[in-house]
Amino acid sequence: MAHATMKSIAILLADMQYKLQSNIHRRPLGQAHLGLRYLYKMSLAVSLRRALLVLLSGAVFILTVLYWNQGVIKTQAYSDSQLRPHNHKDRNHLSIPVEKSWTYKCENDRCVRTPYRKNASNTKRVSFTSCSMTCGDINIWPHPTTKSLISAHTLRFSVEDVQLQLDTPHREVSKLLKIAFDWFVRDLRQIQRLDYATHTPEAAAATFVSEATSRQRRHNNEAPAPETQPAASLFGSTFGLQRAGDLESLQVKLSVHESGEIDFNLDNNESYHLSTTFEHQRLVVHIAAHTFFGARHGLSTLQQLIWYDDEDRLLHTYASSLINDVPKFRYRGLMLDTSRHFFSVEAIKRTIAAMGLTKLNRFHWHITDAQSFPYVSRHYPELAEHGAYSESETYSDQDVREVVEFARIYGVQVLLELDAPAHAGNGWDWGPKRGLGELAMCINQQPWSFYCGEPPCGQLNPKNNHTYLILQRLYEEFLQLSGPTDIFHLGGDEVNLDCWAQYFNDTDLRGLWCDFMLQSNARLKLANGNVPPKYVAVWSSALTNTKCLPNSQFVVQIWGGSTWQENYDLLDNGYNVIFSHVDAWYLDCGFGSWRATGEAACSPYRTWQNVYKHRPWERMRLDKKRRKQVLGGEACMWTEQVDENQLDNRLWPRAAALAERLWSDPNDDHDFDVVQPDVFRRISLFRNRLVELGIKAEALFPKYCAQNPGECI
């Protein structure tokens, strides 16, 4: 679009030049507008050169502005593309509709729904969200760990009243916090604007009254609210014409003093302290943290301490709140496989934004696999040329960098995984043509079940030095794109020894596998400026059951069953671990087998309760030392049966259930499949928040149960 405009402007300019020239000795341009005539005169009077100079500088200016705007549009695209419902045709398609027919009362820490008639009673209607936020324990997700106090008194304000006060000596931190705050305000604006754009409450109330009173009139009453009305209120709110609420300003004061670090490592201090002062109609929310990351999480919390009330159409928050919060686990991950199916950068960003709101902090990007190689390497573009599904289904290094920078604002680290030596095939077949020998073997070999776990097969060549060279270059690129890190994922799972056995007559093929891992680890060190990353992660496998990989550096991501012996063995062998148990945290399971033959890999579906209730460290009764070896956990989204059409609802709200498990790890010694009513209450509201922001999170239960907390349990 921007290109097209620029092109046409450029052509127009060229055209104007031409006309100016050809008409110079004829009559003035009749149809050209005044500016042009002026230019023409000027060119006669002074000189053509000056006119051209003016024109040219004008063109440059316009192009600059257009180019600049293009960038702005791009960063906001994730929310702008689909989050804002501007369709006036359907008044009932709103993600979060206005619910004027009910009012809520807080009874025994539960919100009770009762019908509300505007004219029948003089009491003010209490919206569900307002009730839910002020009834019972603090309603944020994940639950704060150390301390949380909120006042019963709430204040009303508009998004225009929110201001930032930065208190940090670190330039980089202040830069990031500024952007984070801008995005925070943008979200608030979106929440508040939802109604302005489509369905004004007055109009709703009006139709409602007429529905109640007259039957005949209703038939003619099909016209939706006139378009001018929302436009007017938008205008009004933008220019502060209808200042309402209790606040002159809401100042968000972000303090980060101790550390200026903005690079991720597992020792990042993510704690924060949130407190408020309220004086002279000014509410100051003070978020103090040791690092940018803590402040970032504080902002996510604050976002959840603010809600939109559809009764007075204002944002609400508590008059005073006090929260001390620090995560229980430092690695809180979500993995997405972009090889079985391709996912657009927009979809990935949307996912990361939701992760930020729920305080997950590691986006594990399983960017390649045997099926496809969508990453366009700077050094080896052949990989994507031969391995991507199509030219458009690729990630350029610019795309990856964009995701990394986007994620940083949300306090999420992007970990790029290039799985090897197995799970690599398509994209690696051009070696012989370039005289580099076979880089991989068994590519797409049949019958696949002999040579790999799922079609198509493919495994890197462990005896070709070029393979390692390419890996080293790719690692280098990954590290450059994702920034300095103390953890790197090498993949390393599900090697099929029969594949290699066709080519090598080594007696110890597992040794070959081990050598491969150690060799690629050595390459990783070279790629990282000769400094080995403190942690190197691999998937659990037959190899991790041997002691081939040094436990000082290697972290094992355990994806087997939670009751398997390997869990104990790996901890006993001194490895640090990340739990991704297939029986609890595999979000792709439950959709049957995708092949015509064979059973479903890992049915059934893991409900959000399954995800939430899983506490392997408790069930395994780990002692203090072994608990320390648990870095955290990660939910996995393999994408054999998922593409962009249903990514959101496959991930959310289940990944949020994991987030609370890893951030707060609430005590919970009840039956395996019973979740406390309070958890239902909070996750239900959190799901609403996701939907509000345009994440298509799945429904937890019938809406009746959301409107009547506690009744369906």
Which residues are known to be catalytic?
Answer: 494
Q: Looking at 603, 619, 628, 676, which residue binds other proteins (CB under 8 A)?
A: 603
- Of the two residues 61 and 704, which places its CB atom closer to other proteins in the complex? 704
The amino acid sitting at 184 is F
- Of the two residues 27 and 215, which places its CB atom closer to other proteins in the complex? 215
- Of the two residues 507 and 597, which places its CB atom closer to other proteins in the complex? 597
Q: Looking at 287, 404, 512, 697, which residue binds other proteins (CB under 8 A)?
A: 697
Tell me how far apart the alpha carbons of residues 359 and 193 are, in angstroms, rounded to a whole number.
25
- Of the two residues 456 and 533, which places its CB atom closer to other proteins in the complex? 456
Q: Beta strand 110-115 with 147-150: parallel, antiparallel or unpaired?
A: unpaired
What contacts 703, CB < 8 A, 6 or more positions away? Answer: none
- Shortest separation between residue 510's beta carbon and other proteins, angstroms: 28
**Is residue 465 close enough to count as binding other proteins by CB under 8 A?**
no
CA dihedral 667, 670, 672, 677 (to 10 degrees): -80
Task: Give the DSSP letter of residue 143.
Answer: P
- Of the two residues 252 and 443, which places its CB atom closer to other proteins in the complex? 443
**Is residue 218 close enough to count as binding other proteins by CB under 8 A?**
yes
Tell me how far apart the alpha carbons of residues 63 and 712 are, in angstroms, rounded to a whole number.
59
What contacts 295, CB < 8 A, 6 or more positions away? Answer: 173, 177, 180, 254, 255, 256, 272, 287, 288, 289
* CA end-to-end span of the chain: 51
- Shortest separation between residue 128's beta carbon and other proteins, angstroms: 10
Q: Looking at 141, 157, 318, 342, which residue binds other proteins (CB under 8 A)?
A: 342
Question: What are 237's two structure tokens?
Answer: 């709110």
- Shortest separation between residue 610's beta carbon and other proteins, angstroms: 11
- Shortest separation between residue 119's beta carbon and other proteins, angstroms: 13
CB 185, CB 159: distance < 8 Å? yes
Q: Looking at 204, 283, 495, 536, which residue binds other proteins (CB under 8 A)?
A: 204
Q: Looking at 639, 664, 684, 688, which residue binds other proteins (CB under 8 A)?
A: 639
Handedness of CA 586, 591, 592, 596 (dihedral sign): negative
Residue 652 three-state SS: coil
- Of the two residues 332 and 341, which places its CB atom closer to other proteins in the complex? 341
Binding-site string for other proteins from residue 557 to residue 596, where x marks contact by CB under 8 A and - marks none: ---------------------------------xxxxxxx
Handedness of CA 399, 649, 710, 145 (dihedral sign): negative
The amino acid sitting at 289 is A
- Of the two residues 49 and 625, which places its CB atom closer to other proteins in the complex? 49
- Shortest separation between residue 311's beta carbon and other proteins, angstroms: 13
How many CB atoms neighbour CB 77 within 10 A? 14
The amino acid sitting at 605 is Y
Q: Looking at 341, 350, 614, 681, which residue binds other proteins (CB under 8 A)?
A: 341
How many CB atoms neighbour CB 367 within 10 A? 22
Handedness of CA 445, 446, 447, 448 (dihedral sign): positive
**Is residue 344 close enough to count as binding other proteins by CB under 8 A?**
no
* Contacts (CB under 8 A) with other proteins, residues 667-696: 691, 696
Binding-site string for other proteins from residue 122 to residue 161, where x marks contact by CB under 8 A and - marks none: ----------------------------------------
* Contacts (CB under 8 A) with other proteins, residues 297-326: none
Percent of the chain that is helix, strand, coil (3-state, to 5): 40, 15, 40
Question: What are 258's two structure tokens?
Answer: 């101790």
Task: Give the DSSP letter of residue 255.
Answer: E
Q: Beta strand 362-368 with 331-337: parallel, antiparallel or unpaired?
A: parallel
- Give the count of residues interacting with other proteins (CB under 8 A): 98
**Is residue 279 close enough to count as binding other proteins by CB under 8 A?**
no
Binding-site string for other proteins from residue 406 to residue 445, where x marks contact by CB under 8 A and - marks none: --------------------x-----------------x-
Give buried/exposed letters for 217-228 (b at 16+ CB in 10 A, else e): eeeeeeeebeee
The DSSP bridge partners found for residue 362 are: 333, 413
The residue range among 12-20, 260-268, 321-329, 567-575 that interacts with other proteins, by the rule CB under 8 A, is 12-20
**Is residue 602 close enough to count as binding other proteins by CB under 8 A?**
no
- Shortest separation between residue 697's beta carbon and other proteins, angstroms: 6
DSSP 10-33: HHHHHHHHHHHHHTTTS---SSS-
The residue range among 136-144, 203-211, 320-328, 552-560 that interacts with other proteins, by the rule CB under 8 A, is 203-211
Q: Looking at 56, 522, 531, 674, which residue binds other proteins (CB under 8 A)?
A: 56
- Of the two residues 223 and 621, which places its CB atom closer to other proteins in the complex? 223
Q: Looking at 29, 59, 106, 232, which residue binds other proteins (CB under 8 A)?
A: 59
* Contacts (CB under 8 A) with other proteins, residues 66-105: 87, 89-95, 97-102
Q: Looking at 643, 666, 668, 677, which residue binds other proteins (CB under 8 A)?
A: 643
Tell me how far apart the alpha carbons of residues 298 and 254 are, in angstroms, rounded to a whole number.
9
- Shortest separation between residue 6's beta carbon and other proteins, angstroms: 5
- Of the two residues 389 and 504, which places its CB atom closer to other proteins in the complex? 389
The residue range among 245-253, 477-485, 564-572, 636-644 that interacts with other proteins, by the rule CB under 8 A, is 636-644
- Shortest separation between residue 97's beta carbon and other proteins, angstroms: 4
Question: What are 474's two structure tokens?
Answer: 């790719």
- Of the two residues 94 and 548, which places its CB atom closer to other proteins in the complex? 94
- Of the two residues 143 and 341, which places its CB atom closer to other proteins in the complex? 341
- Shortest separation between residue 513's beta carbon and other proteins, angstroms: 24
- Shortest separation between residue 619's beta carbon and other proteins, angstroms: 22
Q: Looking at 31, 505, 507, 597, which residue binds other proteins (CB under 8 A)?
A: 597
**Is residue 494 close enough to count as binding other proteins by CB under 8 A?**
no
CB 709, CB 677: distance < 8 Å? yes
Question: What are 452's two structure tokens?
Answer: 């790999």
Residue 195 three-state SS: helix
Question: What are 74's two structure tokens?
Answer: 């791009």
Place of tokens 């505007």: 118
**Is residue 605 close enough to count as binding other proteins by CB under 8 A?**
yes
* Contacts (CB under 8 A) with other proteins, residues 372-391: 372, 388-391
- In 614-676, alpha helices (H): 616-619, 624-629, 647-651, 654-663
The amino acid sitting at 499 is C
What contacts 43, CB < 8 A, 6 or more positions away? Answer: 20, 24, 50, 51
The residue range among 56-64, 279-287, 408-416, 621-629 that interacts with other proteins, by the rule CB under 8 A, is 56-64
- Of the two residues 199 and 349, which places its CB atom closer to other proteins in the complex? 199
The residue range among 42-50, 231-239, 324-332, 408-416 that interacts with other proteins, by the rule CB under 8 A, is 42-50
Tell me how far apart the alpha carbons of residues 567 and 544 are, in angstroms, rounded to a whole number.
11
**Is residue 172 close enough to count as binding other proteins by CB under 8 A?**
no
Residue 680 three-state SS: helix
Tell me how far apart the alpha carbons of residues 278 and 284 are, in angstroms, rounded to a whole number.
6
- Shortest separation between residue 92's beta carbon and other proteins, angstroms: 5
